[in-house]
Amino acid sequence: MTQSRLLIVFVLLLGYFLVSQSAQAQRPNILFAISDDQSFPHASAYGTKGIETPVFDRVAREGILFNNVFAASPGCSPCRAALLTGRHTWQIEHAGTHASSFSSKYVTFPDLLESAGYHIGYTGKGWGPGNFKAGGRTRNPAGPSYSKITTKPPHGGIRSTDYAANFEKFLSDRKDGQPFCFWYGGSEPHRGFEKGVGLKVGKKLADALVPKFLPDTPEIRSDILDYYVEIEWFDKHLGRMLDLLEKSGELDNTLIIVTSDNGMAFPRAKANCYEYGIHMPLAIRWGKAVQAGREVDDLVGFVDLTATMLDAADVKHPSKQYPLAGRSIMNILKAKKSGLVDDTRTAVFSARERHSSSRYGNLAYPQRCIRTQQFLLTRNFRPNRWPAGTPQKFDKPGVLGPMHGGYHDIDACPSLTFLIEHREDESIKRFFHWSVDKRPELELFDIKSDPACLNNLAYDRKYKSTRNELNKQLTDYLTSTGDPRILDGGDIFETYKRYSRIRTFPKPE
């Protein structure tokens, strides 16, 4: 080959390399931050007093604050699996229920990004609880773990993982110019909390926002303040992560998504397809790629976030057999206005199966729901079962424990203890029954007037047409997306192995 031809080849190769490097540099980094058990509207950006989340507020101020975002499930393990795969919980078999396995045939967005050249990893809580190895995986579905660096927690109940320091280690391990996707999975504000820590750090009982499904008492208020403290810890580590990005000059080329996996761990919230179980906080920042200072009211589901991250990275989902169930919200991110942006987003869906081991034979309490701008319709597929758990369980073989000791679909907490101990008090009993009593097959709530989901309109004549319309829409959607609960009763969900503790309960009569 002549010298001139060698020069031409060299120039062409150099040009290709530079273009390739430039294209890679332009691909956004992704920082996905997900807390554990935090309901909307528990961040100071939403106006909630008593809680300070300056970093979440900054992400919202320099990006977009979302008002209507809904988890795929009111429980952590299935919700995270849906988010990772971009498929509804009823579409991913074992992974769609709590503490089971996660089949490797369902590709996750971190895996796809890694295949596209991204450096991936997670710290804290990725997917779980469950057994990913039983599904044929060699690592957590969220990617390689970065959780070895620890710190001394300031309070009891807080995980010792130094999330931000692990993020710094993750960044140091990537190649120069390589885009990254990092999953920051805080274990806060998951139970348990250090009791009384909210008051201990100077918060006031008057500052607690008490939902209407809980009694307004000092005990409940104090429990809520403790919950606020753990949200603030999650926010502090997020702040350290943003500082690292800012110092490295990569903040504005990073798509930052901050949310939670399901609702607050209080009675009638977490593990329930009600507002405080599935309605999530969300703020998104992406430098100059989005118009800052906007507040968006569009209905967004978690499976939409999966599609959005892949869309932002220009990575296609390869599976025709297991396609994404969500729609990218890139059009919302790129818009300039606030309020309602995409009028085609008329409904979102959520679901639950088994949560904790709370009934005879490890049976689930299956729910599906549809949420519109005004209404929430929930369908309870087994209304003969106890939603919070069978009231009485065996403490040991053949020996029944105390009545009201089996409500394990509610995390053990001072608020639950208070409701049980005061269940006969005239001022408290209704709150206890709202949390544990059996429910009808259909529940319909007007969220505009009843965000606490206490006034069931499903059997009110005035709302008959609304109930029928939403129930049909829900049924049609579940049918079209292959939900076994609609297609054949869904008993397959009861067969999926649970890898966490299994309790024993009396056989139903």
3-state SS, one letter per residue, for 121-163: EEEECCCCCCECHHHCCCCCCCCCECCCCECCCCCCCCCCECH
- Does the residue 9 lie in any domain? no
- Does the residue 4 lie in any domain? no
* Range(s) of the domain holding residue 410: 350-495
Give 38's strand partners.
Answer: none
| Section 397-425 average pLDDT | 97
- Please return the burial class of 114, using the count of CB atoms within 10 Å of its CB with bins 0-12, 13-18 and 19+: middle
Residue-wise pLDDT for 69-85, tens only, equals: 999 999 999 999 999 99
DSSP 8-state code for residue 213 = T
At 17, the pLDDT band (50, 70, 90 cuts) reads very low
How far is the CA of 278 from the CAs of 270, 350, 374, 451, in angstroms? Answer: 8, 7, 15, 12
Q: Is the pLDDT of residue 194 over 70?
A: yes
Residue-wise pLDDT for 340-358, tens only, equals: 999 999 999 999 999 999 9
Domain identity same for 218 and 359: no
Among 292, 316, 345, the domain-final residue is 345
Measured CA to CA, the distance from residue 76 to residue 224 in angstroms comes to: 20
Domain identity same for 131 and 236: yes
Domain identity same for 292 and 388: no
The set of residues, in sequence order, having a beta carbon less than 8 Å from that of 254 and lying 6+ positions away, is 28, 29, 30, 31, 245, 286, 287
For residues 88 and 303, the answer to whether their CB atoms sit within 8 Å is yes
Q: Is the pLDDT of residue 11 over 90?
A: no
Task: Give the model's pLDDT for residue 458.
Answer: 98
Domain identity same for 202 and 221: yes
At 399, the pLDDT band (50, 70, 90 cuts) reads very high
Minimum mean pLDDT among 17-21, 287-291, 430-434, 493-497: which range? 17-21
- Does the residue 116 lie in any domain? yes
Q: Is the pLDDT of residue 22 over 60?
A: no
Q: Is the pLDDT of residue 49 over 50?
A: yes
Domain identity same for 386 and 319: no
Q: Is the pLDDT of residue 18 over 80?
A: no
CATH number at residue 321: 3.40.720.10
| Section 227-249 average pLDDT | 98
Domain identity same for 407 and 263: no
Domain identity same for 284 and 377: no
Count of domains forming the chain? 2
Domain identity same for 283 and 390: no
Under DSSP, is residue 309 helix (H, G, I), strand (E, B) or coil?
A: helix
Domain identity same for 31 and 81: yes
Domain identity same for 324 and 433: no
| Section 409-417 average pLDDT | 98
Q: Is the pLDDT of residue 319 over 90?
A: no
Domain identity same for 394 and 275: no
- Does the residue 506 lie in any domain? no
Give 339's strand partners.
Answer: 296
Under DSSP, is residue 380 helix (H, G, I), strand (E, B) or coil?
A: strand
- Does the residue 509 lie in any domain? no
The pTM (predicted TM-score) of the whole model is 0.94
At 16, the pLDDT band (50, 70, 90 cuts) reads very low
Q: Is the pLDDT of residue 6 over 50?
A: no
Q: Is the pLDDT of residue 9 over 80?
A: no
Alpha carbon distance, N-terminus to C-terminus of the chain: 88
CA angle 37, 183, 308 (to 5 degrees): 95
